[in-house]
Amino acid sequence: ETGVTQSPTHLIKTRGQQVTLRCSSQSGHNTVSWYQQALGQGPQFIFQYYREEENGRGNFPPRFSGLQFPNYSSELNVNALELDDSALYLCASRRDSNLNTEAFFGQGTRLTVV
């Protein structure tokens, strides 16, 4: 059983650019959540996808968007990057969004906006 994998591991972008981060869910998991972890902070919930639809969102602007594909892998897209978007972005997958199941986290993508 493979774990949650994220790509790329590190990324440097310029302010105003757009970025796409990718997440491959653990086998058998149909729910993916994305979190932003700024330096020295705990992770903050961005949104969750369940069976290809967004079914929950945190306090993030619309320029943060996502997709989930039929194989349950997922993308996080951020438009018009700002310096404050620099953070570790974590993806977590679970088996079902409504059941008491554990979320497994990937190693994250470190995004630096300059």
Partner 1 sequence: AQSVTQLDSQVPVFEEAPVELRCNYSSSVSVYLFWYVQYPNQGLQLLLKYLSGSTLVKGINGFEAEFNKSQTSFHLRKPSVHISDTAEYFCAVRLPPGGGGSNYKLTFGKGTLLTVNP
Q: Which position among 45, 65, 73, 86 is part of the footprint of partner 1 (CB under 8 A)? A: 45
Q: Which position among 2, 14, 42, 53 is part of the footprint of partner 1 (CB under 8 A)? A: 42
Residue 48 touches partner 1, criterion: CB under 8 A:
yes
CA dihedral sign of residues 104, 107, 108, 109: negative
Residue 20 parent element (H or E) = strand 19-24
14 vs 52: CA distance, rounded Å: 30
Residue 65 touches partner 1, criterion: CB under 8 A:
no
35 vs 68: CA distance, rounded Å: 15
Minimum distance, C-beta of residue 102 to partner 1, in the bound complex (Å): 6
27 vs 47: CA distance, rounded Å: 20
Residue 2 touches partner 1, criterion: CB under 8 A:
no
Positions in the binding site for partner 1 (CB under 8 A) = 4, 31, 33, 35, 40-45, 48, 50, 55-56, 58, 90, 92, 97-100, 102-108
